[in-house]
Amino acid sequence: SNLTDIVVQDNVPGVTPEYVSGDTNDDDTLEPGEVWMYNATGAAEEGQYANIGNVTGTDPTDAEVTDADPSHYFGLNSSIDIEKATNGVDADDPTGPYVTVGGDVVWTYNVTNTGNSNLTDIVVQDNVTGVTPAYVSGDTNDDDTLEPGEVWMYNATGVAEEGQYANIGNVTGTDPTDAEVTDADPSHYFGVNSSIDIEKATNGVDADDPTGPYVTVGGDVVWTYNVTNTGNSNLTDIVVQDNVTGVTPAYVSGDTNDDDTLEPGEVWMYNATGVAEEGQYANIGNVTGTDPTDAEVTDEDPSHYFGLNSSIDIEKATNGVDADDPTGPTIDEGNTVNWEYVVTNTGNVNLTNIIVTDDQGEIPEFQGSNINDDNILEPGEVWTYTATGTAGIGQYANIGNVTGEHNGDTVTDEDPSHYFGEEPPRSTLGNYVWEDLDRDGIQDETDTGISDVTVNLYTGGGVLVGSTTTNETGYYLFTGLAAGDYFVEFVLPDDYEFTTADQGTDDTVDSDANVANGRTTTTSLFAGEVDLTWDAGMYLPISIDIEKSTNGQDADDPQGPKVDVGSTVEWEYVVTNTGSANLTNINVMDDQGVIPVFQGSDLNNDSILEPGETWTYTANGTAEFGQYVNNATATGEYEGEIVEDEDPSHYYGEEKDVPTAHPLLTVSLIGVGIVLFLRRKDE
């Protein structure tokens, strides 16, 4: 039967079904088999949803007929979440965790199904090439389905790079409607290259190596420590120290924002002060800081200076005595004074331009160094200078001074020295000039002194001191002499010669005069000495000469003049005193029995053959046949000594001329002789 009053309702408020179609004849009567369609709309709610449609109608009997039908849907909320962490830190924003450059980075990717339906085809990726997330755990039933609320974990690893780093994790999945769900999550880290630098300077000089600047001992030393953050991350807990106790660096400036953080590129300055010590000095500045990873960074830098002690010392001595105070050594007047100046570098740096002077005009002369000869007075090196002078009388003082230079600065020192000059006892020198009659160079009883001989006295340097002459007995004397070196010069009287010097073993009786110049060797007289040993022997040279001639010819060699046999031969003998002493007892002889007869002298007739005097003798004889020679001898005497000379002479005795035979007679006689000879031979 037909049904009328059709009412369609839903049990959910707000869901109002509305007629759409089906009343084919539009008579509001739901005829048997007729289907009316209603619909209602709404917004899907999340999760499982159920509502009941209800219809009522009235049949012809006015009875109500009704029916209900439930319906369901599932409100699908498909969503996925990825949470990426770097080294355990969910660093969505920079800077993220600090990681030391080169250190390990571990990224974790936690993927959660935040929807209400299963998700499949889960893919986790990273936007940085080479970073590949790998599944670790979470699929509790290993069905490759990310169920609602289920969390899967992935991770990836890498090596920290320097500076700010960011990468993004991404996940995709498919929900039951085949819709793709996705999510992404960034993460960050900061690659820490933490380093620090300290640069230490001494008095403004970056003296990493010795020697560093020169600082005068006791002078001010200022060390500066410039600390720089040479890395890329902030450093804290900055501590600057020095390895030398008592040197305490103090912060000066550089923390531009006063936050106690040494930022990259920021420079903090510290300084410390001290007093320069002698010699090579070194200390080390050290800095430490803490980077964001709590790692300690450190650096150190040495610095040097040389504690300059430029000093020089001079020690002056007089005759070997360090006589800083009077009186000093006692020196006889006129004696040599020897000053020694010992210069030492008592500092610790080289000195140049060394000048040594004496305030009394003495000129010190460099003698040598105990190290080398490079014109640099090195520390500890000793240079020696000397000067000489002649001692005067009384207290004497002079001061040695030395100067040197180092880097334009002059150092100096001086040292006095003293001596006391006293007049010494005077000395005497002399003795004897004698005529050495036997010319043996030794005084004996027969020798006598020679008077009026000039004797000169010289210093060892050749300066004439005085001159005197020998007395009537041959003695001379020089008195009042200062100690020193002397030699004597004897002046030969006319015609005399010096005898041989230094004969025998007794120096008191020999001759000391050099035969060439009459001078003695140099002797040293000490104060008050009496030296009577300087003698000179002299003699008059004696010699005689005879020159014999035959018939007026000096025929020393054959054959001499030709003389006719039987004729008279005339010989002349000329005798001359060629020496320097008078000769007596003159005797002239001839070895062939010829008797020379004195004819006369060219000076006088006093029976003394004086030097240069000539006596003439003659003899004659009858010429003999052939070669003839005879020798003349002359002798003379001086003070018992005999001198002699001889001279040969020659002539040739010839027969007188006789008549000669006619040539024809001569030939005839020869012929007769030959015939007689031949006959006798035949017999």
pLDDT in tens, 551-575: 999 999 999 999 999 999 999 999 9
Q: Give the per-residue pLDDT at 250.
A: 98
DSSP 540: -
Architecture of the domain delimited by 196-308: Sandwich (2.60)
**Residue 146 · residue 113 · CB < 8 Å:** yes
In 3D space, the residue among 2, 67, 71, 75 whose CA is nearest the CA of residue 40 turns out to be: 71
Report d(CA 603, CA 615) in Å as an integer: 9
Tell me if residue 679 falls in helix, strand or coil: helix
**Mean pLDDT, rounded, for 600-609:** 84
CATH class of 312-422: mainly beta
Question: Domain-by-domain residue ranges, the chain?
Answer: 4-75, 80-192, 196-308, 312-422, 427-539, 544-654
**Nearby residues of 443 by Cβ (< 8 Å), 6 or more positions away:** 432, 434, 436, 509, 510, 535, 537
Distance CA 532, CA 475 (A): 10
Q: Is 312-422 in the same CATH topology as 196-308?
A: yes
640 pLDDT exceeds 90?
no
pLDDT tens per residue across span 499-537: 999 999 999 999 999 999 999 999 999 989 999 999 999
Query: What pLDDT sits at residue 396?
Result: 97
Whether the pLDDT of residue 660 is over 60: the answer is no
> What is the CA 613 to chain-centroid distance, rounded?
83
Backbone angles phi, psi at 511, to 5 degrees: -100, 135
Task: Output the pLDDT for position 372.
Answer: 83
Can you name the CATH fold of 427-539?
Immunoglobulin-like (2.60.40)
Q: How far is CA 228 from CA 261, 648, 654, in A?
A: 12, 125, 140
- Torsion of the alpha carbons at 54, 57, 62 and 65, rounded to the nearest 10: -50
* 371 pLDDT above the threshold of 80: yes
CB atoms within 10 A of CB 328: 22
What is the reported pLDDT for 530? 96
Rounded Cα–Cα distance for residues 269 and 238 (Å): 12
Residue 63 binned pLDDT confidence (cut-offs 50, 70, 90): very high
Single pTM value for the model: 0.52
pLDDT digits (tens, 9 = 90+) for 316-369: 999 999 999 999 999 988 889 999 999 999 999 999 999 999 999 999 999 998
| CATH topology (fold) of 80-192 | Immunoglobulin-like (2.60.40)
674, pLDDT greater than 60? no
Across the range 232-252, mean pLDDT stands at 97
- Average of pLDDT values for 634-657? 91
Q: What's the CATH code, domain 544-654?
A: 2.60.40.740
Query: At residue 679, does pLDDT exceed 70?
Result: no
Q: Which two tokens stand for residue 265?
A: 């590129």
Chain segment 297-309, per-residue pLDDT in tens:
999 999 999 999 9
The strand ranges marked E within 148-249 are 151-159, 163-174, 180-192, 196-202, 214-216, 220-229, 236-242
Question: Residue 657 has what pLDDT?
Answer: 63
pLDDT at 669 over 60: no
H or E segment at 676? helix 663-682
Residue 221's alpha-carbon distances to 102, 244, 251, 275, 287, in angstroms, are 42, 14, 17, 6, 20
For residue 678, name the pLDDT band (cuts at 50, 70, 90).
very low
